[in-house]
Amino acid sequence: MIVCLAVVGHENNPLYIQSFTESDDALKLHHIVHCSLDVIDERVNNPKKSSPAINEAFLGLLYPTENYKVYGYLTNTKVKFILVTTDLDIRDADVRNFFRKFHAAYVDAVSNPFHIPGKKITSRTFGERVSSIVKPFGLNSAS
């Protein structure tokens, strides 16, 4: 189950944060997202020798906390997508797929001539598309 999605700009400014559960403290999720930014910076500055040059976008599991898993995705404009989920048996392929769709929705939102790059994403269509991508996510990996 995805609990939180965040889009962070290239200067670590938040562009979009959405939590999908009411039970957990939103602040705690924001804090997790914030900490994961440090992990991303670390990964970007010290690339592992084994990382393939082709798909540098998907950073994979950033770090597992108590009951959450945090995945990262870096676009070539240094915009970071962060996914926090409670599923413990999630497949890598599912997360990659998710990020691909999320990236497509992000690109469409940013192509809006009224969107100012660097400011928060206020598009309602983007929010709806994100909800529709998030909903089947937990169902696929559970089955």
Partner 1 sequence: MAPAAPKSGDVLFASVDRVNAELFTLTYGAIVRQLITDLEDVEEVNKQLDQMGYNIGVRLVDEFLAKSSVSRCVDFRETADVIAKVGFKMFLGVTASVTNWDAEGTTCSLILEDNPLVDFVELPDTCQGLHYCNILSGVVRGALEMVSMKTEVTWLRDMLRGDDVFELQVKLLKQVPEEYPYKDDE
Nearer to partner 1, 75 or 123 (CB): 123
Q: At its nearest, how many Å lie between partner 1 and the CB of residue 117?
A: 12
Asked if 131 is part of the footprint of partner 1 (rule: CB under 8 A), the reply reads no
Give me the DSSP letters along the chain.
Answer: -EEEEEEE-TTS-EEEEEE--SSS-HHHHHHHHHHHHHHHHHHHHS--TT--STT-SEEEEEEE-SS-EEEEEE-TTS-EEEEEE--SS--HHHHHHHHHHHHHHHHHHHT-TTPPTTSPP--HHHHHHHHHHHHHHHHHHH-
Nearer to partner 1, 52 or 113 (CB): 113
Per-residue binding letters, 65-104, with partner 1 (x by CB under 8 A): ----------------------------------------
Q: Which residues bind partner 1 (CB under 8 A)?
A: 108-109, 111-114, 122-125
